[in-house]
Amino acid sequence: MLHSQTHLRTRPIQAGHLRAFEAVARHLNFRLAAEEMALTQSAVSRQIQSLEDEVGVPLFLRHTRAVELTAAGMQLLQAVAQALPRVDSAVRQIRQSAGRRQVTVTTFASFASMWLIPRLEAFQRAFPDIDIRIDASDAAVDLDVADVDLAVRYAAAGRLPVGAQRLFGESVTPMASPWLLKSGPPLRKPADVLAHTLIEAADAYTPHLEWLTWRRWLDAHGMERAQPKRWLSFNYAYQMAQAALSGQGLVLARPPLVAESLARGELVELFTGMRLHSPMAYWLLTAPRSAARPEVKAFADWLLEQAVATRAVTGEDEDPDLVNDLD
């Protein structure tokens, strides 16, 4: 009996029960893990018991109404939480290679809504055999392990890895709808904005976003401590742009994100030469394992071409030291 236990605990464990372990550890609940895996609770419990027998120590403390990871369970979870996504990603890549060509791009929600999605039809016309999947999330993903081919990031240059390609920079400038310009108080000089509702981001007054604020723009143009007719705040840039498009106020807009509205005349830049630049820019990153796939390269090249067109519409002054790839 002693020999069989020693043999059992030194050989590699079977991997089949690790997914059940990860689900229970994530939920700390056998019932929720069973529902997620479409198994019975007793089946999940048996898998965990079998895994504990193989490991040789308890992985969970089972209380009357709660489940808690042991120290050994937490140690195993750290390894499993890294390994399972890698396995899943590899399987998805294998399945993709046997089926349709697909490119997955991750970016934050406002960029996807305001810049990327309105342009996608042009890519689909040019490459009808390539499927595009957009993962719109404000959380940055690890391109080494996630099932993602490309990422568009919003960051200062010093925070980007080697190989990041700059799409365009960022500035802010007052904009309004033509309808508001015709029907509202006149807007001939910077101080005239105070007679209007000013639209901005609700979380703009945090250290890493302060350059997006109307307060900074007003202070820069000699209106320290001045207050507008009223404030209108939103959580997302596309909400701000929509409010401005419908004539609800003036928005301190980022030209690249509203380039299409500018080109169509749906928004008008109020004061030329009064843009305030920020240290942030928009960058394209390619997952190392995806770089050699032709469809990924095609979509990346198309994004870079669209960025050139955006810079032309917004009148961005290119800085050669910034436009090139990071090296």
Closest of 69, 93, 88, 96 to residue 15, by C-alpha = 88
Q: What are phi and psi of 267, to 5 degrees?
A: -130, 145
What is the per-residue pLDDT for 3?
Answer: 41
Find out whether 174 and 251 touch, Cβ atoms under 8 Å: yes
Q: What is the pLDDT of residues 19-37, one digit of tens each?
A: 889 889 999 999 898 888 8
Last residue of a domain, one of 60, 95, 130: 95
Domain check: are 315 and 200 in the same one? yes
Q: What is the pLDDT of residues 147-169, one digit of tens each?
A: 899 999 998 877 788 889 999 99
What is the per-residue pLDDT for 1?
Answer: 41
CA distance 170 to 17: 49
Number of domains into which the chain is organized: 2
* The pLDDT of residue 11 is above 70: no
Query: Average pLDDT for residues 106-114, to the nearest whole number?
Result: 91
What is the per-residue pLDDT for 319?
Answer: 46
Query: Average pLDDT for residues 90-100, to the nearest whole number?
Result: 70
Find out whether 116 and 282 touch, Cβ atoms under 8 Å: no
Q: What is the pLDDT of residues 201-248, one digit of tens each?
A: 877 666 667 788 899 999 999 999 899 999 999 988 889 999 999 999
Domain check: are 237 and 207 in the same one? yes
What b/e string do you get for 6-15 counting C-beta neighbours within 10 Å, with b at 16 or more?
A: eeeeeeebee
For 296, the enclosing helix (H) or strand (E) is helix 294-314
Domain check: are 36 and 182 in the same one? no
Closest of 205, 155, 196 to residue 174, by C-alpha = 196
What is the per-residue pLDDT for 82?
Answer: 87
What is the per-residue pLDDT for 236?
Answer: 85
Provide the mean pLDDT of the chain: 86
CA distance 46 to 209: 50
What is the per-residue pLDDT for 38?
Answer: 87
Range from 75-79, 140-144, 203-207 that averages highest in pLDDT: 75-79
CA neighbours closer than 13 Å in the CB half-sphere of residue 129: 6
CA distance 206 to 229: 23
> For residues 121 and 326, which has the higher predicted lDDT (pLDDT)?
121
Query: Average pLDDT for residues 169-173, to the nearest whole number?
Result: 92
- What is the band of 325 on the pLDDT scale with cuts at 50, 70, 90? very low
Domain check: are 183 and 308 in the same one? yes
- Of 2-11, 93-102, 186-195, the one with minimum mean pLDDT is 2-11
* The pLDDT of residue 14 is above 50: yes
* The pLDDT of residue 101 is above 60: yes
For 6, the enclosing helix (H) or strand (E) is helix 2-10
- Domain hosting 39: range is 2-95
Domain check: are 91 and 119 in the same one? no
Domain check: are 290 and 217 in the same one? yes
Last residue of a domain, one of 95, 127, 142: 95
Instruction: Look at the pTM and tell me if it is higher than 0.85.
Output: no
Domain check: are 69 and 111 in the same one? no
What is the per-residue pLDDT for 209?
Answer: 73
Domain check: are 152 and 269 in the same one? yes
- What is the band of 75 on the pLDDT scale with cuts at 50, 70, 90? very high
- What is the band of 127 on the pLDDT scale with cuts at 50, 70, 90? very high
What b/e string do you get for 63-102 counting C-beta neighbours within 10 Å, with b at 16 or more?
A: eeeebebeeebeebbeebeeebeeeebeeeeeebeeeeeb
In the chain, the percentage of residues whose pLDDT exceeds 90 is 55
- What is the band of 64 on the pLDDT scale with cuts at 50, 70, 90? confident
In the chain, the percentage of residues whose pLDDT exceeds 70 is 89
* The pLDDT of residue 318 is above 60: no
Beta-bridged to residue 276, according to DSSP, are 172
Residue 122 in tokens: 């042009």
CA distance 2 to 8: 10
* The pLDDT of residue 198 is above 90: yes
CA distance 327 to 162: 5
Domain check: are 225 and 112 in the same one? yes
What is the per-residue pLDDT for 163?
Answer: 87
Domain check: are 89 and 181 in the same one? no
CATH at 178? 3.40.190.290
Last residue of a domain, one of 69, 95, 121: 95
- Cα 224 → chain centroid: 34
Residue 49 in tokens: 């018991």
CA distance 310 to 282: 12
Three-state secondary structure call for residue 185:
coil
CATH at 60? 1.10.10.10
Domain check: are 136 and 250 in the same one? yes
* The pLDDT of residue 274 is above 60: yes
Query: Average pLDDT for residues 52-64, to the nearest whole number?
Result: 91
Domain check: are 90 and 106 in the same one? no
Closest of 145, 142, 140 to residue 87, by C-alpha = 145
Residue 78 in tokens: 């750290």
Residue 214 in tokens: 């109307």
